[in-house]
Chain A
């Protein structure tokens, strides 16, 4: 075997992979010497690697750092037969200072083990090889020498509990708030599950509640059950102990770093003494011991003991000086829990329970910000995805509103998973179902099953349809009726601002509208702007309004209702996720303070990517608000400017054109979003403007077709040279047009004193403006 000629052979020689590792270790510039021995019996190769700690000059001269790290540190690498798939076991000399904060908490029975990196050593070995591992060890030693144990600027280094299998899940903020002026120890109710697996010992998982455990005989009755051969669960006791005042009168502070040395009940008592809560813990463990005196059990029951150590400054990564140190005692009855007891104690790793703060941290954002409350309207596929994304980043909704029950086909794209058959038999509504799944993110989540359109239609019930403290409402219903209902005058006056999210054109287009302050621009205004933009681009126009879309029975502007628009969950998620991203930013930074926003995403035909446009929408000109019997008139600032431009271009003469947009019969309002210029055969004079006809029918036809009928002529505009209302001539023309129109006709008159208007409907008399809300 020529390829291995250089490597040692024979039973006493290490395996080739280990021999290669030893050769590479020796080549590392920080390695001064390597000595190794292989045991044929165990298959283990033990190498002692002398690593240069690169001490600063003054320490290098004397040979050690202030904290005892030597100029050349011996580090032991133990390779098993499974190397290189499994990483070598790396440990330090026995007398390495165990109070060092970056050691694995293995207990005094094990040699000190450096905590080399936050991730997995095994993965490091795979990605960077043995050289990468040595590099990490050399780096650890170098930094270890320089660690100054009491450094307020870096935070108190907590005792590491990274690779411990026993876990306690708790609300760390609540736990840290427990200590008061006096020392104490209280019991809290916890639940546990103990799981055993073939390749590792049984491990515990406990969830600590904020409910008190009285340590009465009744409380101490064990309730547990075996779920399976490998899992059992039940109630548990969590004892939390903290220190109080020092003799000096100030708070007792545990300012010394100590290695983790708790192995049994005796050393746990000793540790509690050092942390200033020994007496309190002793009393409670004594009480517990008396409760257990007459009990006996075949299976062990966990008792969680959490010592709270008050440090001289904030713990690294927390805004509190309280370090949480959990331990676990297994009791079976007649247990000795006294200060001399050799009963074993296990180390437990504390984990933060699911909370908005934790989600924000894990999402790479600051924890602790007071998140704004918001309401989700519509818990279908788009709504549930948005709610989930937001909740997972600590920004979940506070109230969920939906009208419908969950149907089997909904699971094709809904964020929720199908429940058991039995549960499916009991028809459940979407809002509470989604609320149940999000409750662990936010316990205070409220759900309402209601037909929001009906509720908003009645001014009596509309007033409290949304919580008054909601920063905004997200309308994810994809329903035109809901949009219109939200734009009712009495609703707009009281509701929070609305953000609308839906998919259009069989899911190819994502639509997101952010209302301006005081609902200006409103959902209706922004929708008109969106239709104008979508119809102007032939590609989007075809997708949203084209014959293909029509064949799928797309109601104009209608978001996707699940049966109408088949698409995959992956596609829906891909289109919805960017909207959740934008919503997260709005939630963090607040809605825009001036005007609204329109975002349109166009999904690629093959599903690989999207392109988004993000436009600011200026507030619209409200010529008149809708009131009983009088239609409202809202004009895009662009139309306003076009009319002003056109008037200025014809000084001393009347001019005019056609106004385009939408009329809502629900809110009885016009949304004027565009104009068409007067055709070439129009006549302009100081006395009158006569709108011509040349080419006009074709142009109107084209416009209506391209917008799928979502935009259409609303009437005409012209100007008066002096500030005056509609003339008799205007009135006659309006009446003529109104007869042809299925909704009221709007005649907009630009005068030096602002807009005048004429609204005429065939069934009713003309409505003439009094001097109205002036608009330029």
Chain B
């Protein structure tokens, strides 16, 4: 099958499905709001794209939760199976997560002031269950698997060996099997206890993952950069760490961090400083390694010319500046017509948006019913 990524319309939130050439699926975050007039049923859209296993269960091969915020895990308990696979039952028909990809923050949050929402709590609980199971029995079968993205403080993750992905480490397997991608863990960086309170908020604990997707025999057909909600301080650290090997930050598709927020690019508040706000050169460099024809995607509400942040009009302009010399594009998912998710196909010559097709119903299109029609 053709490798593709599907970016759901979730307002200010993240939710993207990666479908690899071998059929493996990875979900990055979920933000399933109550469907309504302007809110599509993203869970229905997701389920339609998933396969069922031999036991008739819908499944994801992997689920990456970049960080435990509501707009990245909303709907987890309602729509995803948590707990041992044998407790799944048909009547609720929830989606099985074969392998969790989780940040190490789940080990710590419960005991701190920072309250987790219920969905995040459920994620942390399930992650701890799987890690405990691993510690007792070793790597589990599908539905019991977990990978921890980054080391925790105090050597808490030192015994996780095969299920731990360390910073700057590359991996290309899902559920213990080699797949059609190569991922690189760019953040979170190992934290020390004293700086934790200062900058390691939930946003800044975000997993940042570079993902090279294979297509038609090309290993690096398209490079994606998922940045969660990481803010400017983290991006400065990322630049600092990688400026001598900036190719690891290159991307064909960047999902703009924190829903196209100015706070990922600058220490200055957009609402306070407006156009006087200064861009952090280091953060911009970390987010500026666009390849030829690169695309920046804002998974956010419509970007308006106002004081709101996120999304921020100034951030959009900055990203447009970044891709302009590469003849790239900036796409805000909310700007697209209709309620379908934004789909991108990956070919050996790079990514391309799925061509909007015109259905046969065009002949039946009508202006009747759109506005009152006076008749004399």
Q: Give residues in A with beta carbon < 8 Å to B.
A: 24, 28-30, 54-61, 65-66, 127-129, 131-132, 134-135, 138-139, 142, 146, 148
B271 within 8 A of A: no
CA A127 – CA B360 in complex, angstroms? 9
- Whether the Cβ atoms of B293 and A128 lie closer than 8 Å is no
CA A56 – CA B356 in complex, angstroms? 15
Task: Name the contact of B362 in the complex, choosing from A54, A61, A131, A148 (C-beta under 8 A).
Answer: A131
- Whether the Cβ atoms of A55 and B327 lie closer than 8 Å is no
11 A-B pairs with CB atoms under 8 Å apart are A30-B356, A57-B252, A57-B328, A58-B349, A66-B349, A127-B360, A129-B362, A131-B360, A131-B362, A139-B357, A148-B216
CA A635 – CA B92 in complex, angstroms? 52
| Chain B residue with the shortest CB-CB distance to A66 | B349
CA A28 – CA B356 in complex, angstroms? 10
Task: Name the contact of A56 in the complex, choosing from B349, B360, B362 (C-beta under 8 A).
Answer: B349
| Chain A residue with the shortest CB-CB distance to B327 | A61
- Whether the Cβ atoms of B358 and A29 lie closer than 8 Å is yes
CA A59 – CA B363 in complex, angstroms? 34
What chain B residues lie within 8 Å of A61 (beta carbons)?
Answer: 292-293, 326-328
- Whether the Cβ atoms of A54 and B355 lie closer than 8 Å is yes
- Whether the Cβ atoms of B358 and A146 lie closer than 8 Å is no
- Whether the Cβ atoms of A132 and B360 lie closer than 8 Å is yes
B353 within 8 A of A: yes
Task: Name the contact of A54 in the complex, choosing from B326, B328, B353, B360 (C-beta under 8 A).
Answer: B353
- Most chain B Cβ neighbours within 10 Å, of A28, A56, A138: A56
| Chain A residue with the shortest CB-CB distance to B294 | A57
- Whether the Cβ atoms of B362 and A142 lie closer than 8 Å is no
6 A-B pairs closest in CB distance: A57-B293, A57-B350, A56-B349, A56-B350, A58-B350, A61-B293
Task: Name the contact of A57 in the complex, choosing from B352, B360, B362 (C-beta under 8 A).
Answer: B352
What chain A residues lie within 8 Å of B360 (beta carbons)?
Answer: 127-129, 131-132
B295 within 8 A of A: yes
| Chain B residue with the shortest CB-CB distance to A146 | B347
- Whether the Cβ atoms of B292 and A57 lie closer than 8 Å is yes
- Most chain B Cβ neighbours within 10 Å, of A29, A60, A129, A132: A60
What chain A residues lie within 8 Å of B294 (beta carbons)?
Answer: 57
B351 within 8 A of A: yes
- Whether the Cβ atoms of B349 and A59 lie closer than 8 Å is yes
> Shortest Cβ distance from A551 into chain B, in angstroms?
56
B211-238: CB near A (< 8 Å → 1, else 0) gives: 0000010000010000000000000000
What chain B residues lie within 8 Å of A30 (beta carbons)?
Answer: 355-356
> Shortest Cβ distance from B292 into chain A, in angstroms?
5
> Shortest Cβ distance from B249 into chain A, in angstroms?
17
Q: A57-B294, A61-B293, A61-B327 are in contact. Are A135 and B349 (CB under 8 A)?
A: no
- Whether the Cβ atoms of B362 and A59 lie closer than 8 Å is no
| Chain B residue with the shortest CB-CB distance to A59 | B349
What chain A residues lie within 8 Å of B327 (beta carbons)?
Answer: 60-61
> Shortest Cβ distance from A70 into chain B, in angstroms?
14
CA A54 – CA B356 in complex, angstroms? 10
What chain A residues lie within 8 Å of B326 (beta carbons)?
Answer: 61
| Chain A residue with the shortest CB-CB distance to B222 | A57
- Most chain A Cβ neighbours within 10 Å, of B293, B358, B363: B358
What chain A residues lie within 8 Å of B295 (beta carbons)?
Answer: 57
- Whether the Cβ atoms of A57 and B363 lie closer than 8 Å is no
- Whether the Cβ atoms of A57 and B351 lie closer than 8 Å is yes
- Whether the Cβ atoms of A65 and B357 lie closer than 8 Å is no
- Whether the Cβ atoms of A56 and B358 lie closer than 8 Å is no
CA A320 – CA B258 in complex, angstroms? 55
What chain A residues lie within 8 Å of B291 (beta carbons)?
Answer: 57-58
> Shortest Cβ distance from A760 into chain B, in angstroms?
61
Give the contacts of B271-293 with A (CB-CB under 8 A): 291-293
What chain B residues lie within 8 Å of A132 (beta carbons)?
Answer: 360
CA A60 – CA B292 in complex, angstroms? 9
| Chain B residue with the shortest CB-CB distance to A27 | B362
What chain A residues lie within 8 Å of B347 (beta carbons)?
Answer: 56, 146
CA A65 – CA B216 in complex, angstroms? 15
Task: Name the contact of A65 in the complex, choosing from B252, B349, B363 (C-beta under 8 A).
Answer: B349
CA A430 – CA B350 in complex, angstroms? 66
Give 17 new A-B contacts, CB below 8 A, not counting A30-B355, A57-B222: A24-B362, A29-B355, A54-B355, A56-B347, A56-B348, A57-B291, A57-B292, A57-B293, A57-B294, A57-B352, A58-B292, A60-B327, A129-B363, A131-B363, A132-B360, A138-B355, A139-B357
Give the contacts of B115-146 with A (CB-CB under 8 A): none
What chain B residues lie within 8 Å of A142 (beta carbons)?
Answer: 355
| Chain B residue with the shortest CB-CB distance to A60 | B293
| Chain B residue with the shortest CB-CB distance to A132 | B360
CA A135 – CA B351 in complex, angstroms? 21
CA A30 – CA B355 in complex, angstroms? 8
What chain B residues lie within 8 Å of A138 (beta carbons)?
Answer: 355
What chain A residues lie within 8 Å of B352 (beta carbons)?
Answer: 54-57, 60
| Chain A residue with the shortest CB-CB distance to B347 | A56
- Whether the Cβ atoms of A135 and B357 lie closer than 8 Å is yes
What chain A residues lie within 8 Å of B293 (beta carbons)?
Answer: 56-58, 60-61
What chain A residues lie within 8 Å of B357 (beta carbons)?
Answer: 135, 139
> Shortest Cβ distance from A557 into chain B, in angstroms?
47
B314-329: CB near A (< 8 Å → 1, else 0) gives: 0000000000001110
- Whether the Cβ atoms of B351 and A29 lie closer than 8 Å is no
> Shortest Cβ distance from B367 into chain A, in angstroms?
13
